[in-house]
Structure 1
Amino acid sequence: MSSSIERSTAGMSSDRRTFLQRMAITGVALGPGAAFLSSCATGGGGDDEEGGGSEPTGDVSEDNPLGMPEDGTVEIYIFDGGFGDAYATDVHQPIFSEKWPDVTIDHNAAVDIAGELQARFVAGDPPDFVNNSGDGQLDGGQLITDGQLHSLEELLDAPSWDDPATPVRDTLIPGTVEMGARDGEMFALNYAFTVFGLWYNKTLLDENGWTVPTTWQQMMDLCAEIKAAGIAPWVYQGVTAPRYMNWPLLTMAAKLAGPEILVPIDNLEEGAWGHEAIRESAAAIRSLKENDYFLKGVEGMEFRDAQGLWARGKAVFCPSGSWLENEEADAIGEDPTFEMAMMPQPLLSEDAVMPIETVRATAGEPYIVPADAKNPRGGMEYMRAMLSVEGARGFTDTVTSLTSVAEANQGVEIQAPGLSSAKDALNAAGDNVINWMYPTWYPTMENPGIDQATGALLRADITVDEWVQQCEKVAADIRKDDSIVKQTREG
């Protein structure tokens, strides 16, 4: 266990420490638009070269540790995507307003965050709090470089909403701080906790007496039975996001050879994509197309269309994160008998280094406070309310997603079957939780870079060797681009 995890669990009860360590993550990853350290320029600038700061504008007290003005306005922007914005209007804002009745919340929801706010950042007139998510998210990495984000270190050191004796940082699942940090300083709060896996139609499996596969050979045998029954075994997110299939590909490779094979990929090392375990996993993924195990026409579909057909019983397996249940709630609701569940990715070999229970999981969905905001301390205080146990559990109930607030995930009866199975899978994984960072560090490396290569692989338009060559070229282009700030991690 890393020293950061040890520090963040020091002084806690043994039960809580064990829970936190089991939930520990290593690295950074994307959820549905969860990238934070991006690579495109936004322009503008703040007071500091890297990260903004501000002095308290209200009286600092035990009740108001961040020194927020107690009669001002907090302007917030929520990404109106897979999670919607009801969790803000119905959960977080009432919690905040109950404590601060004289503070006005100026609520705004937007699908295209950059389209709405980029000009305001450039003009030095951003809102106080931004849910920076979605395909049109602002470039978090460039915002840091330009000094346009307020450091959240004071928030981390402030007393938590529920227990003044416990600082905010000690309420978070280990790894959450590192996800939103640069050079050890946090600039983004990644709030949603995502478990990635292979989602399946449990109703169809139960009705047909099919068993959840634990090895790839079992998966292929089951796919043959499913196809014979007139049902498509798999869907993926089509032309929009073939990268969703990178997730099982890399997870199965890491299970086979160990998580250390992911480190050279993140560090842009030459030859990283050519590791034998990655090749073997890519060949397994390609074999789904070779055997006609994908839903017909899926390669040309939009991601919601493909997922919707899966939710309507047209296929059995779908790769995704634990947001899928909420994202496809309407389609799922059309069939009261439909029940979804999550399974870990199968083992490519029974001699795999990591156990079948291994899953990929990470904190995601970034929230930021602009450095040039009129009321940045109001924005941080709003975050403090979000990080209350009530706020986090309300988020889970509303959008069917776990959060990065550790206590809020304990002892909670989750009614949604998909999220419940994801929570069970995470608990079963214990310390066998993996992740990788390159999609967040270098978004264009994944999309359109690796995305295009994997799309061609899934159509069987290219061989595994050609896929490796294309992935290597994408990594080399990033490696050689001096305009991109490079990051590294240790194994």
Structure 2
Amino acid sequence: MNPTTRRSVLRGALAAAATPLLAGCVTAGGGDQGPALRGQITKDNPLGVALDAPLEVVIFKGAYGDQYALDAERAYNQRHPQAKINHQAIQKVGEALQPRFVADTPPDVVDNTGAGSLDLPTLVKANQVSDLTELLDSPSLHDPAVRVRDTLLPGVVDDGTFNGRPRALNLVYTAWGVWYSRTLFAERGWSYPKTWDQMLTLCGEIKKSGIAPWTHQGKYPDYVGDLLVSMAFKAGGNELLLAVDNLEPNAWKHEAMVNAATAFAELVGKGYVMPGSEGLSHTEAQAAWSQGKAAFLPCGSWLESEQKGVTPESFQMVMMPPPQLSTSDKMPANAVRAGGAQSFIVPEKARNRQGGMDFLRTLFAVPQARRFAELASALPSVKGATEGLRLSSGADSVRAAVNAAGDNAFRYRFRTWYGTLKKAWDDATGELFTGRLTPQQWADRVQRAADAVARDPNITKYRR
């Protein structure tokens, strides 16, 4: 693909056009910023970083803040004292960086996270993201006898791999499930349900107590949509999960999918969802839950960090795996969706690409990963990083859920690989939760979107 065509693809496919202020961030004149800087490869510099090369780091400043990155930058500077580091903490990553990728003047390392992140499959297709094999095969900082890839938790490398090449590395080992207050449940004598029938029975008790059983982030249906498909995958097993990711015909019409949609439609039909939830943002729904207005909330393990300063200290939030649709589910009750999040990339056109990789080598070493866990109340993707570390109630419950799941932790990729399918899934799930779609109509609509992706020759397909 020639540069003009590639840039046209990027302009049309990446998130939003840059504002005049952001466009001004592009290197004067645009165009290629020159060959990547490289230094001599030595035992202490296995990635061949040019020792005096400046390093530009862009961090998504969301629930986890950016102090962990500043700490990692200081550690990087201890090994590369001549390097001047330009640290930028932003929120709308796609909006800020789109013009720089188009102009071939990207930063050296990017935390591509948040609602406005860059579309990773588009960047991969345009060869704008480095293959991280060199980094993964380099010696880890905390144990040079072990490669970086071998220090990571199961599934982390796979989560950022596209057609056999690792393109992103996820700092956080995230689990997704159902959240509740341990304090509230202890006071009321409630126990977390393992099956959906038990869930409905408990919801009836909760409603009688004057508390809404559920709320959810209605403006962002993927929160509850994730819980729905996770329950379907637990029922249908890994075979169904792979069928969905591989765009196989009628995967979304599988009995387990329809049954999971039916289960969530029951919550609405029985009045077990807090009125007005469909109009709430994530922060609004989570605040209502933290205030005790609802018992259950679907979310990932970033929730506790995101709710700091809002949730009472006595709340004791905990996360549990989604209930089974029935005891005949193919996956056990402790199966949970878990895998990498907080995605870091090294742009292919980065001036200090080797420095970007070495920054990740620093960030993914045990000392920095442990520091991240302490600051963010979250599990890092590095083995052993939280051993002996006393965690908050939420983070500790996530660690317990991940440990209990073991090999039964699962992950899916369709929402990362196919943006149009994710959008159709979001929209259909939102309508399911407002009663505008029946469970079968929900399944049919998402299947049509999956079929459209499968037929489109312009969309790169991925398989597991």
Query: 1:7: which partner in 2?
Result: none
Separation in 2, partners of 1:123, 1:257: 46
Question: Counterparts of 1:442-457 in structure 2 under 5 Å?
Answer: 442-447=418-423, 449-457=424-432
2:107 to 127, 148, 161: 127
Question: Counterparts of 1:376-387 in structure 2 under 5 Å?
Answer: 376-387=353-364
Query: 2:393: which partner in 1?
Result: 417
Separation in 1, partners of 2:156, 2:406: 17
Please state whether the residue corresponding to 1:253 is helix, strand or coil: helix
Separation in 1, partners of 2:340, 2:11: 20
Q: Does 1:319 align with 2:294?
A: no
Note closer, same or farther for the CA distance 1:42–1:210 as it changes in structure 2 (3 Å cut).
Answer: closer
Query: 1:356: which partner in 2?
Result: 333
Query: 1:400: which partner in 2?
Result: 377
Once the 2 structures are TM-superposed, how far is the Cα of residue 266 of structure 1 from its aligned partner? Answer: 1.2
2:240 to 245, 251, 261: 261
Is this contact kept in 2: 1:39–1:441, CA < 8 A?
no
Is this contact kept in 2: 1:39–1:444, CA < 8 A?
no
Query: 1:66: which partner in 2?
Result: 47
Separation in 1, partners of 2:338, 2:138: 27
Note closer, same or farther for the CA distance 1:120–1:139 as it changes in structure 2 (3 Å cut).
Answer: same
Separation in 2, partners of 1:483, 1:162: 43
For each residue in 1:141-175, what CA deviation from the matched residue of structure 2 results, as whole angstroms up to 9, or x when unmatched?
22222222222111111111112221111111232
Separation in 2, partners of 1:139, 1:80: 18
Once the 2 structures are TM-superposed, how far is the Cα of residue 214 of structure 1 from its aligned partner? Answer: 1.1
For each residue in 1:216-261, what CA deviation from the matched residue of structure 2 results, as whole angstroms up to 9, or x when unmatched?
111111111111111011111112x112112222222222232211
TM-score normalised according to structure 2 size? 0.90
Is this contact kept in 2: 1:196–1:322, CA < 8 A?
yes
Q: Does 1:100 align with 2:80?
A: yes
1:162 to 142, 157, 175: 142
Separation in 2, partners of 1:196, 1:283: 20
Please state whether the residue corresponding to 1:362 is helix, strand or coil: strand
Which stretch has the larger CA shift, 278-287 or 260-269? 260-269
Separation in 1, partners of 2:309, 2:316: 13
For each residue in 1:42-90, what CA deviation from the matched residue of structure 2 results, as whole angstroms up to 9, or x when unmatched?
49xxxxxxxxx9776212211111111212210110011222212112x
CA RMSD between the two structures: 1.9
Separation in 2, partners of 1:204, 1:370: 47
Counterpart amino acid of residue 210 in structure 1: W
Once the 2 structures are TM-superposed, how far is the Cα of residue 389 of structure 1 from its aligned partner? Answer: 0.3
Q: Does 1:296 align with 2:264?
A: no
Question: Counterparts of 1:211-230 in structure 2 under 5 Å?
Answer: 211-230=191-210
For each residue in 1:26-50, what CA deviation from the matched residue of structure 2 results, as whole angstroms up to 9, or x when unmatched?
xxxxxxxxxxxx997249xxxxxxx
Once the 2 structures are TM-superposed, how far is the Cα of residue 113 of structure 1 from its aligned partner? Answer: 1.1
Counterpart amino acid of residue 457 in structure 2: D
Query: 1:369: which partner in 2?
Result: 346
- Number of residue pairs matched? 437
Separation in 1, partners of 2:450, 2:390: 40
Q: Does 1:473 align with 2:448?
A: yes
Runs of 4+ aligned residues of structure 1 deviating over 6 Å after TM superposition are: 53-56
Q: Does 1:428 align with 2:404?
A: yes
Separation in 2, partners of 1:399, 1:94: 18
Counterpart amino acid of residue 41 in structure 1: A
Unpaired segments of 5 or more residues in structure 2? 1-9, 16-33
Query: 1:46: which partner in 2?
Result: none
TM-score normalised according to structure 1 size? 0.86
Is this contact kept in 2: 1:195–1:359, CA < 8 A?
yes
Please state whether the residue corresponding to 1:407 is helix, strand or coil: coil
Separation in 2, partners of 1:458, 1:326: 27
Query: 1:341: which partner in 2?
Result: 318
Percent identical across equivalent pairs? 41
Please state whether the residue corresponding to 2:309 is helix, strand or coil: helix
Once the 2 structures are TM-superposed, how far is the Cα of residue 267 of structure 1 from its aligned partner? Answer: 1.5
Counterpart amino acid of residue 388 in structure 1: A
Is this contact kept in 1: 2:194–2:324, CA < 8 A?
yes
Separation in 2, partners of 1:189, 1:284: 35
Which stretch has the larger CA shift, 389-398 or 159-168? 159-168
Is this contact kept in 1: 2:222–2:426, CA < 8 A?
yes
Is this contact kept in 2: 1:42–1:122, CA < 8 A?
no
